[in-house]
Amino acid sequence: MLLVIILLSAAAVASASTNGLSTASEEDVPEAPATENHTVVTESGRAGTITAYAPDGEVMYYNNTRTKYFDVDPVEGDPLTVEYAATDTIHSEGPTCSDPPCALNVIERADLETGEVEVIYKRYDYKETAGEWHDSTRLNETHIAIADIVADQVFVVNTETEVVEWLWDAQSDFPVEEGGPYPEDWAHINDVEFIEEGEHEGRIVASLRNQDQVVFLDPGEGLVEDWTLGEEDDYDIQYEQHNPDYIPESQGGPAIVVADSENGRVQEFQREDGEWNRTWQWADDRIQWPRDADRLPNGNTLIADSHGNRVMEVNESGDIVWQVESTLPYEAERLETGPESEGGESAAELGLESRTDDDGGGGDDSVFGFNPLGWAGDLLESILPHRVYNGLLFATPVWMGATEFAAVAIALLTGLTWIGLETRWKLRDVGVRFRLPVYRQGD
C-alpha cells in the first residue's frame, strides 16, 4: 500500500511538472488566439515579465529586465506606447538602502514597436518585502499619481521636477490596529485611478487591499467617507481586492468593477440610493486569485486570473471567448480600448447576468470513475483558508495545484507514519515499551 501511494504521488507531480507552462523566456511564451486589438500582459512573480501580443496572437514585445511588472496603461494618442509600474529587487547598497536587499521602484514608458524604454520616475526604497509600487495613473503630461505600498500612501508627483505636490497617508483615516501587520505590510495600497468626468471629476480612487476597502480621495478634502466600498474583514463584500475600475455616469455608472481576489471571483458594484449594491459577479471552476478585471467597450470583461495561470475575455453571456496561458499574470490591457475600463459600460447598463460556475474539478485521471488524488486535492482546497491556499500557490512552482499538494501531503504523511512505525518496532526489539499515560487500575 505504501508503494502504491508513493507511486501515485510521484506520478501526479511528474505529470504536472511536464505541462510546459512558462514565461521565463520569450521563446517559452505561448501564442494567444487572434483578437481585434493588441493585448499586454504583466507578471509579478516567479517570472517578472511584460508581454505584448499582436492582434494575430504572436508576441510582438517581451521584456523581463525588471524583477516584477504591475499595472500597465496605453499612452494617450499612441496606443502602442505604454506606461507601467515595475520593481527591481536591489541586492547591493544604494541611496536609502543600508541593509539590502532593498527595492528600486520605477514608472517606465516603453515603445512596443521600437523596444525603446524610458524611465519616467524612480525611487529607491529601503525594503524588499511590501516595498513596491503596484499602480500609477497619469493626471496630465507632467503629473502622475502613485499607489505607494512602501509608505501606505497615495501621492501625486511632478515627473519633471520630481516634487511631490500632494499626498494622502492612510494612517490619517485608518487605525493601524486594523489591516495587515504594521508597519511591515499594513494597508497594501495596490491601485490608484484618476476620475476624469462626472460627479467625482478630479478625485482619486484607491484600493486598500488589507482593509478590504476601495476609497475615494478628494485632493482638497481628503477621504470621502460615505463613498467607501467595503468594510474591514467583511469578506462577503470583498476580500483583499485588486485593481478596482471606476465606471462613470456616462457609461451607466457610478459603478466599480473589481477583482475580488481572495474570494476567487470578479464582481461589480453599482451606486444606488447612496449605497453600493452588487450587480454582477463572475467565476468558474478554475478561477483562483484574480487580480485585474476591465470592462471592454464591446461589453466583454478582460480578466487576469493569477493562480488560474491565464488571461481571458468573458462575453456578456459569461462564456470565455479568448484565453492565453500565463504563469502568474498581474494585469491585462487591451491597448486600443483606452486605459483599464475606459469606454466600458456598467453591468446594469448592459444587463449582464451573474455566473458563478463550480463544476468541482476532478480531471481526467480517474480510475473507475474516481480520481483519488483529485478528490483529496479538492478536500484540501476546501479545508484550507483561501488566503493560505493562495499563499501556497504563490510560493510554489506554477505546476503545483490542488492535486499536487494532495500528492505531496499524502507522501509526507505516509513517510512520517512509516518512520514512526519503524522507530517503534526497533525500540520494541530492544525491549523499550510504550504505555498510555492514562490507564485503568489493574492493567
Distance CA 294, CA 243 (A): 9
**pTM given for the model:** 0.83
More confident residue, 388 or 82: 82
User: Which residue, among 111, 129, 128, has the nearest Cα to 120 in the 3D structure?
Assistant: 111
Is the dihedral angle over the CA atoms 219, 221, 227, 228 positive or is it negative? positive
H helix or E strand, kind and range, residue 410: helix 402-429
Give me the pLDDT at residue 45, please.
79
Quick: pLDDT tens for 220-245: 999 999 999 999 999 999 999 999 99
Choice between 411 and 375, residue whose per-residue pLDDT is larger? 411
d(CA 71, CA 86): 8
- Residue at 428: amino acid letter: R
Bridge partners of residue 275, in order along the sequence: 272
Q: Is the pLDDT of residue 14 over 70?
A: no
State how far the Cα of 110 lies from the Cα of 203, in Å rounded to an integer.
Answer: 27
3-state SS class at 390: helix
- Residue 367's contacts (CB-CB under 8 Å, 6 or more residues apart) are none
pLDDT classification of 381: cutoffs 50, 70, 90: low
| 337 grid coordinates | 480600448
Who contacts 164 (Cβ-Cβ below 8 Å, separation ≥6)?
A: 155, 156, 157
Q: How far apart are CA 276 and CA 392, in angstroms?
A: 33
Cα atoms in the 13 Å half-sphere on the side-chain side of 122 = 14
How many CA atoms, within 13 angstroms, populate the side-chain half-sphere of residue 157?
18
pLDDT digit string, tens, across residues 194-225? 999 999 999 999 999 999 999 999 999 999 99
Quickly state the pLDDT bin for 407 (edges 50, 70, 90): low
Retrieve residue 285's grid coordinates.
471552476
Report the DSSP beta bridge partners of residue 137: 145
Task: Provide the pLDDT for residue 403.
Answer: 53
The pLDDT value given to residue 310: 96
Q: Quote the pLDDT of residue 138.
A: 96
Lowest mean pLDDT among 165-179, 265-279, 307-321, 367-381: 367-381
Amino acid identity at 383: I
159 — pLDDT class (breaks 50, 70, 90): very high
Task: Check pLDDT > 70 for residue 437.
Answer: no
Helix (H, G, I), strand (E, B) or coil at 90: strand
Is residue 230 within 8 Å of residue 214, measured between CB atoms? yes
Domains, in order of start, for the chain: 1-19+369-443 (no CATH), 30-356 (2.120.10.30)
Report the percent of the chain where pLDDT is more than 70.
78
Q: How far apart are CA 441 and CA 443, in angstroms?
A: 6
Tell me the pairing of strands 275-283 and 355-356. Answer: parallel
Tens of pLDDT along 85-121? Answer: 999 988 776 677 878 889 999 999 999 999 999 999 9
Look up cell 517559452; give the residue: 28
pLDDT band at 364 (very low <50, low <70, confident <90, very high): very low
